[in-house]
Structure 1
Amino acid sequence: MSEITDGTTIGAVFARAVSAHGDRPFLAVPPNEARAYLPAGAEITYGEAGRRVAELAAAYREAGYGPGHRVATLLENHPDHVLHKLALNSLGVCCVPINPDYRPGEAAYLIAHSEPELIVALAARERQAREALAQSAHRPPVVVAEAFPAGLPKPARPADGAEPGPETPASILYTSGTTGRPKGCVLSHGYEVASGARYASLGGLAALRPGEERIYNPLPLYHVNAGVLSLLGAVLTGNCQIQPDRFHPRRFWHEVAATRATIVHYLGVIAAMLMAQPPGAEERRHGVRLGIGAGIEPQLHRAFEERFGFPMVEVWGMTEMVRVLADSTEPRQVGTRAFGRAFPGLEVRVVDEEDRDVPEGQPGEMLIRHSAATPRRGFFSGYLKDEAATEAAWRGGWFHTGDVVWRGRDGMLHFVDRRKNIIRRSGENIAAAEVEAVLLTHPDVLQAAVMAVKDELREEEVLACVVLRRLAPDPAAAAESLFRHCRERLAYYKAPGWIHIVESLPTTATQKIQKHTIYPAGVDPRYLPGVADLRALKRRDAS
């Protein structure tokens, strides 16, 4: 596939797909009467999508949008997200998706940092966009997608006039980093096309049948998995992406059957929640031949496959590099957290804390590169406005993933844990430092330490250890007050699910909190006296 994708752009790839697969389905939405849009579901062909993308692109072009511009989108998992992205990318405009779960302050940071010329939002999200703009130093106009192109303004500055190429930025996706604020990962056209080409050529159990696959991906389009990996893989093979609004455990099998899905995407939490559902006939009334995802618990892996009747292929990737590794060839190493081997175009090292290679079978941080000659080929272009962080991640000519793995004699890589100060909850990366920073804005908080604790359903949950400025007469009420303070300022999933109010925290001589000594080894802090369980309050619709 490299001869088709090298040196090309997303616009060129999509145009070829429209020409070759005009009558084939491109994008489907499952029926869901509870959804605010398209309750009866919908399906559009490559030809229909091509016409709609051309119309959108013409409107943007006439208004003056082009290379050098960025447009932020607040479009959830609506088909308009995909159509506007393709239209904007065809003109060389970079898309900046906004997570709809962001609170106004979080979205305001993204807008100010990325400086888009425009925000395109669903009508139901217009108020949310304007609330964010009220807190932002950068205030672009907002256009409602359902009325587009009505009200589409000209950009504040002219486009740079260059033709889009492989190095042109296609997306900026914000991902949590260890220093608090999310980092903007700049993804080029070449990166996104190469990611799709890798997905399309995994082989083995994951070999795609051109024009025959229907890929059900319940993950957010504003993340790299659904918005880049499977989407571009589908475009390159003339296949259909099925895009629900989000994962619904009770609707999953109904939607999968109704849309005739042949491939499903998953995270560990999705597998766990499906296994927790009571058995029913619907879970076997499907045509799924393959699951593609990451993080299924080893003890669930084989049991899931036996219950639901298809293999779950574990892969590894990250926003900075999503040309995924995959354990897709039989015999797979089911139940060992295996996720694949290095391949031509992705070299892997496993190293200790001083970047020295460790022996086979020993855990260490995974470092990756394309090759010695072109280490960064196929990777993200860098962190927006943060060259220092980009170079730090690439120190020594290898990208430092922050993931701890071990490699067997056969070359198979096995996931162990994350080395970064990141909490992984239901597929979302949460920076402990960001939650700590919000807690410290509460007038009663003197110190805060945030860390991950195990969660049997969501992989990890957020635990906050807090020292108050004065004794709380009602610790439970104080904990709930701290939770609501976070919930008002952070996306719901970032708020602490557990809060432990303590008298003091261990520190170094320079007053740096020593998180690793807060709890004795082998102690699960969730079951200690005084730890408040606030997980029931972590809901999208919570006020």
Structure 2
Amino acid sequence: MRRGAGVGRSPRQGTLRRPAGADARRRDPRGRRADRPVVARRALPPSRRAAPGAAADAPGDRRGSLPGRRQGGHGAGEGPPLPGGGLPHPAGIDRRRKRAGRDAHRPGPGARTRAGRARAARGGHPRHRRQARRAHPRPGGPARAPRRRGLLPEPGVGRGPADDHLHPRPRRDRRGAGPQRAGPDGRQRRAALRDGTHEICERGGTVKPSFEGSLPPLERRTVVHVLRERAERHPGRPAIAGPGAEIGYGALLDEAAALAGSLRAHGIRPGDRVLLMLDNHVDAILAWLGLTCAGAVEVPVNTAFAGGFLDHVVRDSGAVAAITETHYLGRLAAADGGRLRGSVIEHVPAESGRGRFDLPEGEPTVEDAAPWDTAAVFYTSGTTGPSKGVLVPHAQAYGYASPVYIGAVEFDDTSYVAMPLFHVGGQLWGVYNALIAGARAYISPRFTASGFWEDIVQSGSTFAVLTGAMARFLEAQAPSPLERSSGLRKVCLAPVPADVDAFCERFGVAYCAGYGSTEAATPLAAPHGVSGAGGLGWVRPGFEALVVDEHDRPVPDGRIGELVVRPHEPWTMFQGYLGRPEATAEAWRNSYFHTGDAVRRTADGEFFLVDRIRDSIRRRGENISSLEVEAAANTHPQVTETAAVGVPSEHSEDEVLLLVVPHPEGPPDPADLFRYLAERLPYFAVPRFIACTAELPRSASNKIMKGPLRAAGVPADGWDAELNGLRATRNGIVQT
């Protein structure tokens, strides 16, 4: 029979095609049979239409039907019976089964044959009937779970198209491995399912973020654009606050423009580099924004720098002026042989919480900036030599601070900033993050664990950026009733500590994480509650990241290697090291920026920090992560903070030295701590040497400086396990 003469469905129109002939006189003007129901394109088949007099379905209730089941009592929600005796879909069947049921009783290619017509009369294709049996168990019989893998609705919850934001569907990965399996339930997994932005990965129920949203066009990623946009939209909304001071967005732009005019009157020109050596207060933010509006480049300086450290920054930066506090004037005036003498601008504090800058008046100025213009020069920690100046363009600063992908600060939040403003985390993650979101940033003079919760209550803060050391100091404090009632809801932890669940349970907060560096911005991110202990997150849109060996070859998932990254857009990472083209080329070799961090990546794409490559320890043929040793030691109740380093051994390679900052209630017994660690670490990673110290040396970015600790070696009063007759072996601790 010719194709056009049979009974079939037109692929273009979706209508029934019948041969012309005796039935032609019974057709309507459009050529359709007047006495037969017509299934038009995208229309519901008769079996899925409401019965005469039946109540209309609720909005969004797209119930369908599957053939293959006899009519029976399935309770509420039944529609009219199908021609083959089938039952309508309940609301909880996914789209694939709806499609299967919808297509089953449309005449298809099989209806052109006798076998096809007989099969349709029996209720459709056998595959459709099997799906129907799984979805519609016989009354009183055991329920059969559908074969579909991945995320499923929670028990008793129907799923329809309107529920996709509650239960996101699993994504098929690019390798064609099928949807990812759901892991065990947990509080954060259920929370992630509720907000509809994540999917469950294979590894133990980890929730993988979907990174919804996007950054604005490149031209809008500048500090000046953010200030203007917020001042136009919310001029009276509080922007920056501190003890005894608060500025709205409109006033913030006006004061920044006025200060920019004064800087121009002082002789500062666009492109000039100016040092900022200021304490944490509202005027420090104003100085940063005033320099930006003047077109100058800020160079934040650690307020603890003196002597050779300060000489290096003054000389290396080529700064033409400096803005500093009254009590730092002497240090800056003498730095680098007094080169800046006469060019230091003093910030004079006031009792009211706001101070003034010793500058002449000028015409308010706002210099437009391009995303590729240098916004700041941040100096790195300098743990392996003299610190290097990192050239940060406007677009990189925006990408580092933007809350789009990590969801740190929202419009109604107040960000608590206790990290130093000379640090990229304090200025960009703390303050700029809030400005981009249109939120409020509260500047605390300093971090104190004992007064943290009172500060949170007084400032009304709902979000805070915490380093690992800050988190441990808070945990070491005695419980306070303010911990759960302070209003703090979210924290940023980087990396995620090993006891993060206990931390969040005690303080009633959710956590987000990410990997950020002065050079690379934030290529990895994990929104609230989706990363595990030690996690850095997943690669966010706009970046590529690999784990490579010493020859820059990618290593398999699960293997440890160096993290290398590169951006998809220009100007979203650093422009280079100031005056160091060789160091820039070395860091950017083979088209990727080499971070110097040892990481591993799981099969679902999450990255975990192992150690700084130069801080790893080689002992008896085994590579040891100093971070893992420290994480285990920090769980001891009499330990506040630790640092593990390798020291020379009389045998070969290294021995592990653990330096301990004891708890205020008293130091741990070294032998007890040795046994404690032997139960939690591989035998070869248990420290042989243990020593207590009052504090650990820190860099400008508040990181522990392990270079001096390695150079100092084992302290004279250090405890040696072998001299005390103890040794960790495969079979446990043995007496020697």
TM-score by length of 2: 0.54
Superposed, which structure 2 residues align to 1:365-380 within 5 Å? Answer: 365-371=562-568, 374=569, 377-380=571-574
**2:438 aligned residue (230, 238, 241):** 238
CA shift for structure 1 position 53 = 1.0
CA shift for structure 1 position 302 = 0.7
Superposed, which structure 2 residues align to 1:83-232 within 5 Å? Answer: 83-134=286-337, 141-146=343-348, 149-150=357-358, 164-177=369-382, 179-197=384-402, 200-203=403-406, 206=407, 208-210=409-411, 212-232=412-432
Partner of 2:233 in structure 1? 20
Once the two structures are superposed, residues 201-256 of structure 1 have per-residue CA deviations (whole angstroms, 9 ceiling, x without a partner) of: 125xx36432x110112111111112123322211221111121221000111101
CA shift for structure 1 position 333 = 3.8
CA shift for structure 1 position 528 = 3.5
Q: What residue identity is the alignment partner of 1:228?
A: L
Alignment partners' CA distance in 2, 1:368 and 1:490? 24
Sequence identity, in percent?
29
Give secondary structure in 2 for the equivalent of 1:22.
Answer: coil
Partner of 1:359 in structure 2? 556
Alignment partners' CA distance in 2, 1:496 and 1:526? 18
Residue pair 2:513, 2:527 contacting (<8 A) in 1 also: yes
Residue pair 1:183, 1:384 contacting (<8 A) in 2 also: yes
Alignment partners' CA distance in 2, 1:461 and 1:257? 36
Partner of 1:253 in structure 2? 453
Alignment partners' CA distance in 1, 2:227 and 2:216? 16
CA shift for structure 1 position 296 = 4.0
Alignment partners' CA distance in 2, 1:101 and 1:284? 34
Gaps of 5+ in 2: 1-213, 349-354, 618-625, 635-639, 649-692, 724-736
Alignment partners' CA distance in 2, 1:185 and 1:285? 41
Alignment partners' CA distance in 2, 1:119 and 1:285? 42
Q: Tell whether 2:532 aligns with 1:338.
A: no
CA shift for structure 1 position 22 = 1.4
Residue pair 1:116, 1:140 contacting (<8 A) in 2 also: no
Residue pair 1:464, 1:498 contacting (<8 A) in 2 also: no
Q: What residue identity is the alignment partner of 2:495?
A: G
Superposed, which structure 2 residues align to 1:387-426 within 5 Å? Answer: 387-420=581-614
| Displaced runs of 4 or more, over 6 A | 461-465, 489-493, 499-502
Q: 1:56 to 1:379 in 2, by over 3 A?
A: same
CA RMSD of aligned residues (A): 3.5
Q: 1:202 to 1:8 in 2, by over 3 A?
A: closer
Partner of 2:222 in structure 1? 9
Q: What residue identity is the alignment partner of 2:262?
A: A
Give secondary structure in 2 for the equivalent of 1:383.
Answer: coil
Q: 1:168 to 1:271 in 2, by over 3 A?
A: same
CA shift for structure 1 position 138 = 6.0
Alignment partners' CA distance in 2, 1:110 and 1:250? 34
Residue pair 2:347, 2:358 contacting (<8 A) in 1 also: no
Moved more, 62-71 or 302-311: 62-71
Q: Tell whether 2:510 aligns with 1:311.
A: yes
Q: 1:397 to 1:274 in 2, by over 3 A?
A: same
Residue pair 2:400, 2:522 contacting (<8 A) in 1 also: yes
Q: 1:347 to 1:140 in 2, by over 3 A?
A: farther
Give secondary structure in 1 for the equivalent of 2:486.
Answer: coil
Q: Tell whether 2:553 aligns with 1:326.
A: no
Give secondary structure in 2 for the equivalent of 1:2.
Answer: coil
CA shift for structure 1 position 68 = 2.0
- Name the structure, 1 or 2, with higher relative contact order (CA <8 Å, separation 6+): 1
Alignment partners' CA distance in 2, 1:364 and 1:263? 33
Alignment partners' CA distance in 2, 1:344 and 1:494? 32
**2:250 aligned residue (40, 47, 50):** 47
CA shift for structure 1 position 499 = 8.2
Residue pair 1:88, 1:95 contacting (<8 A) in 2 also: yes
CA shift for structure 1 position 344 = 2.0
Superposed, which structure 2 residues align to 1:421-500 within 5 Å? Answer: 454=630, 456=634, 457-458=640-641, 460=643
Q: 1:357 to 1:501 in 2, by over 3 A?
A: closer
Alignment partners' CA distance in 2, 1:364 and 1:499? 23
Residue pair 1:462, 1:497 contacting (<8 A) in 2 also: no
Residue pair 1:119, 1:140 contacting (<8 A) in 2 also: no
Residue pair 1:462, 1:495 contacting (<8 A) in 2 also: yes
Alignment partners' CA distance in 1, 2:562 and 2:707? 27
Q: What residue identity is the alignment partner of 2:532?
A: V
Q: Tell whether 2:75 aligns with 1:75.
A: no
CA shift for structure 1 position 140 = 6.0
Q: 1:501 to 1:329 in 2, by over 3 A?
A: closer
> Rg larger in 1 or in 2?
2
Residue pair 2:560, 2:600 contacting (<8 A) in 1 also: yes
Q: What residue identity is the alignment partner of 2:386?
A: R
Gaps of 5+ in 1: 32-40, 155-161, 424-450, 466-482, 503-518, 520-524, 532-543
Give secondary structure in 2 for the equivalent of 1:417.
Answer: strand
CA shift for structure 1 position 193 = 2.0
Once the two structures are superposed, residues 158-181 of structure 1 have per-residue CA deviations (whole angstroms, 9 ceiling, x without a partner) of: xxxx96322211111110346410
Q: Tell whether 2:452 aligns with 1:269.
A: no
Q: 1:69 to 1:458 in 2, by over 3 A?
A: farther
Q: What residue identity is the alignment partner of 1:78?
A: H
Once the two structures are superposed, residues 104-151 of structure 1 have per-residue CA deviations (whole angstroms, 9 ceiling, x without a partner) of: 2211110011111111111122223224354x6665621111285535
Give secondary structure in 1 for the equivalent of 2:303.
Answer: coil
Q: What residue identity is the alignment partner of 2:643?
A: E
Residue pair 1:219, 1:246 contacting (<8 A) in 2 also: yes
Q: What residue identity is the alignment partner of 2:345?
A: V
Q: 1:500 to 1:333 in 2, by over 3 A?
A: closer
Give secondary structure in 2 for the equivalent of 1:273.
Answer: helix
Partner of 2:575 in structure 1? 381
Residue pair 2:546, 2:564 contacting (<8 A) in 1 also: yes
Residue pair 2:543, 2:565 contacting (<8 A) in 1 also: yes
Partner of 2:36 in structure 1? none
Q: 1:392 to 1:178 in 2, by over 3 A?
A: farther
Once the two structures are superposed, residues 308-354 of structure 1 have per-residue CA deviations (whole angstroms, 9 ceiling, x without a partner) of: 11122221111112235222265x2432x122111221111001111
Alignment partners' CA distance in 2, 1:490 and 1:18? 33
Q: 1:123 to 1:56 in 2, by over 3 A?
A: same
Q: What residue identity is the alignment partner of 1:145?
A: H
CA shift for structure 1 position 495 = 9.7
Counting matched residue pairs gives: 435
Alignment partners' CA distance in 2, 1:422 and 1:48? 50
Residue pair 1:172, 1:187 contacting (<8 A) in 2 also: yes
Partner of 2:27 in structure 1? none
Residue pair 2:312, 2:336 contacting (<8 A) in 1 also: no
**2:719 aligned residue (488, 508, 527):** 527
